[in-house]
Each structure stands twice: as structure tokens, then as C-alpha cells.
Amino acid sequence: MERIDESKETTQPNFFLPHHPVTREDSSTTKVRVVFDASCKGTNGISLNDAICCKNVSSNTAGSSRHTTAPDILAIFSFGIVSVYELKTVTYGTTSAPFLATRVLQKLAEDERENYPAAAKATCEDFYVDDLYSGADTVENAAVLRHQLDSMFSSAGMQLRKWASNSHAALEGVPQADRALQSLVDLDKDQSIITLGLHWEPSTDKLKYVIRNEHLEIRTTITKRAVLSRIAKLFDPLGLVGPVVLDAKIFMQTLWTLKEKNGKPWDWDHELPQTMIESWNSYRSQLISLNDLRIDRFISCPSPRSLELHLFSDASQLAYGCCCYLRSASASGKTRVALLTSRSKVAPLKQQTIPRLELCGARMAAELYVKVRDALRIIDTTYFWVDSKFVLSWL
């Protein structure tokens, strides 16, 4: 952003963007970030987001979009003096920010595909908003990819930071200031990087879960609000601890059905019945065990000759779900099978038959397969497994 001269007259509309700081102690770079609230409505009942055109990232708008003339204006108060600054970059908090950020990456990859083929491919396929998760089969290829990415983004005036790898050689030449972890002189195996809710230890190349104190603290009064707040913090994007999260989903569904003596839904701030308090405390006390769990990030044989997906689905009166395993085989005949991802869903409150829930699980497996297939793009064969003859007959 840059300071603007308020004395100059302008016909452009200005908007002072509400904002506040958020502190993240676990961040390896920026400990304090600014959060912009573009959804905050003004005295006219309209917010900045209400006035912004939002496009889907897959929409072809490169030739139809027009430049906006309305800048975001940020007022900073310091020692009683009001200074006005104009934001010069994509502002997160606005509804258009995800599209703009992703479209810039796509355009850069399109323009530089011939000069940096590996970097362009990774940019189109391996970015999640502003984080890149990519890799290579060899250290040499990883180094080539890193150099291409660095050069391609530098050509556009952007610097990639927080580099991390399970191979020290792949990071050779990267300044310590641009690395995600501390100096290797004081190597700590517990150093991890948060990737989409999961913690990754580059030194061991394993994924882990971190259950913090707020999940474990015992409250004097356990309410529906307190329990739902804790459950919402259990984030398992790959479904690697599906049974643990599913128990929480079932407990949460039970909370929604809980009634007061007058027949109304249980109040958010009333203490739960003793039986439910005991069930919750038992569940909560076991969550700490997840901190000891380590899951291999790389789940294939080295240089696999074939890759197979095996999807299993099942159901009960309480829930249904599916899990996807990757089976890899090497040229020497060695095989490896490992859990890739899973999904689950609590059964509807309106009682359903087991065969119907089994069919719901089979459908979920088919939907999961499509996502995995599109993400990996290297699968040779896929098998679907179900133990219900009803489902097989219906299919």
C-alpha cells in the first residue's frame, strides 16, 4: 500500500475498509496478520463485497473483465494522526480475492509455459490459493522444479518463500530466510509445517495431528456451545483419522436432538445431562492419543510399476462411509498398500434401512473416486468393494 495525498480532488469513489489484527504464534513468518472485513455493511446497508463482481475461478473472463477504478482505502490511526493509504495488492477478505489471486497464477503459467514447463505445470495443478504443494521423483528433478518456480515467479515480481522439503539437497542454495524451518544446525525432529490443517515433519516425512490444550481442558460447566466449539476444531481433510472424527459427528447429532423439559431444543448455555457429560469427557480424554500418531506422507513403492485404487464402502444405523486405499507394486515384485483418504457421514435422523444406507456409502465411494482420480491422474486400475448383495443387485 502507499500513502495518498488527501488534498487532491478525485472523482473516484473511496471506501475505508474495516480491519483488525490476528496473531498466530505458530506461523513461521508473519506472526501478526491483518484481516480485512469487506462484508461489513455501511450506514446504507451495503458492504464492499455486495458491490464487487465475483467470478468462478474456472470462468473464462480474461477477455471480458474490465478494470475497476474504485480503490480500497485503508485508514491508519497512529498517535492521534490519521493517515490514509491505498491498497495496491489483492485484498483478502474481498469476495473477488480468490479468483484474482488464482487467475494471476494461471496467466503466469500460460505466458511462461515454454520457458518453464515444469513450473507452469506445478502452478496450474499444485497450488491451493497461495500455497504450493508439489514434488518430484528424484532430488535432481525437485531441484529443477524449484529453480524453475523461483525464476518464473521472480520474472513476475513475486518471491516464493517458506521452502521446505524432506530432502536437504533439494533446498541447496535457498537462503535460510526463505526456508520454512529453522537452521539445520539445531535440527529438531519435531519441527513441522502446517499444510491444510495437517502437520508435516520434513525431517521424517511424516504427517501428524496436534491436539492442543483447548481440546483437552476440563470445563466446570459443559454446555452444547462449548462441545460444538471443540468439535469444530477437529480438522481432518484427508479422513486419515475418520473413526475419531465420526464419533464426534455422531455425538454432535445427538446434541441437536436433545430437548429441554418443555420440549424446546436444549439451550446453548445450559449444562448437558450427566450421561452426556461423562460420554464427552471420555471422548475428550482420549484425543491426546492422536499426538502420538505418525502417518507416512509418501505411501507408494519407489518407482512403482503399477498403481491401483481399492475403495471400500459400508454402513450402519448410525453412519455410512468409504475409504480409499492405494496399492502399488514395484518392478521387483514388492507391493505396498496404504490408506489414501476416507469419508463418512452420519445417518439421517429419519430412520433408513441398512440396504439404503449401504447404497449411500457406495455412491459416496464413487464420488470420492472421481476426486482422487482427477487429483492423481496416474491410476492404472480401480476396484470397488461392498459386502451388500442388495447394493450389487441395484447397481
Task: Give a three-class secondary structure readout of 283-352.
Answer: HHHHHHHHHHCEEECCCCCCCCCEEEEEEEEEECCCEEEEEEEEEEECCCCCEEEEEEEEEEEECCCCCC
Give start and end residues of each alpha helix (H) in 197-273: 213-216, 224-231, 242-257
Pair 127, 137: CB distance under 8 Å: no
Whether residue 180 sits in one domain with residue 87: no
Q: Please report the pLDDT score of residue 100 as a whole number.
A: 86
Pair 241, 209: CB distance under 8 Å: yes
Whether residue 96 sits in one domain with residue 53: yes
Whether residue 326 sits in one domain with residue 282: no
User: What average pLDDT does range 106-119 have in this prediction?
Assistant: 95
195 domain-assigned: no
pLDDT band at 69 (very low <50, low <70, confident <90, very high): very low
329 domain-assigned: yes
Describe the chain by its helix, strand, coil percentages, rounded to 5: 35, 25, 45
As a whole number of angstroms, the distance between CA 199 and CA 88 comes to: 33
As a whole number of angstroms, the distance between CA 44 and CA 100 comes to: 27
What are the cell numbers at 314? 459400508
Whether residue 275 sits in one domain with residue 257: yes
Task: Specify the higher pLDDT residue, 188 or 273.
Answer: 273
Pair 337, 299: CB distance under 8 Å: no
225 domain-assigned: yes
Whether residue 90 sits in one domain with residue 119: no
Does residue 377 have a pLDDT over 90? no
Q: Please report the pLDDT score of residue 81 as a whole number.
A: 76
92 domain-assigned: yes
Does residue 247 have a pLDDT over 50? yes
Does residue 322 have a pLDDT over 50? yes
Total count of domains within the chain:
4
* DSSP 8-state class, residue 265: B
Q: Please report the pLDDT score of residue 264 as a whole number.
A: 92
Whether residue 107 sits in one domain with residue 1: yes
**Prediction pTM value:** 0.78
Strand-by-strand arrangement of the 198-201 sheet: 193-195, 198-201, 206-208, 294-296
Pair 98, 55: CB distance under 8 Å: no
Mean of the per-residue pLDDT values of the chain:
85
Task: Specify the higher pLDDT residue, 65 or 176.
Answer: 176
Q: Which of 243, 271, 295 is where one domain is finished?
A: 295
What are the cell numbers at 332? 521387483
User: What average pLDDT does range 18-44 have in this prediction?
Assistant: 83
Q: Which of 85, 111, 137 is where one domain is finished?
A: 111
User: What average pLDDT does range 107-111 have in this prediction?
Assistant: 96
Pair 322, 305: CB distance under 8 Å: no
Q: Please report the pLDDT score of residue 52 as a whole number.
A: 80
Whether residue 140 sits in one domain with residue 73: no
Phi-psi region of 279 (alpha: psi -120 to 50; beta: other; left: phi over 0): alpha
Task: Specify the higher pLDDT residue, 189 or 208.
Answer: 208
Q: Please report the pLDDT score of residue 184 as a whole number.
A: 47
Convert the pLDDT of each residue in 76-96 to its tens digit: 666 777 778 888 888 888 888
Residue 335's domain comprises: 299-394
Does residue 49 have a pLDDT over 60? yes
User: What average pLDDT does range 324-353 have in this prediction?
Assistant: 94
Whether residue 84 sits in one domain with residue 46: yes
199 domain-assigned: no
197 domain-assigned: no
Query: What CATH number does residue 365 fall under?
Result: 3.10.20.370
Phi-psi region of 228 (alpha: psi -120 to 50; beta: other; left: phi over 0): alpha
Whether residue 128 sits in one domain with residue 83: no
What are the cell numbers at 119? 513450473
pLDDT band at 14 (very low <50, low <70, confident <90, very high): confident
Burial category of 94 from C-beta neighbours within 10 Å (exposed 0-12, middle 13-18, buried 19 and up): buried
As a whole number of angstroms, the distance between CA 39 and CA 17 comes to: 10
Whether residue 309 sits in one domain with residue 217: no
- Cβ of 32: how many Cβ atoms within 10 Å? 10
Q: Which of 111, 144, 175 is where one domain is finished?
A: 111
Q: Please report the pLDDT score of residue 88 as a whole number.
A: 81
Whether residue 90 sits in one domain with residue 39: yes
18 domain-assigned: yes
Whether residue 102 sits in one domain with residue 48: yes
Question: CB-hemisphere CA count at 13 Å for 336?
Answer: 16
198 domain-assigned: no
Strands (E), 66-167: 72-78, 81-86, 127-128, 131-132
Pair 188, 182: CB distance under 8 Å: yes
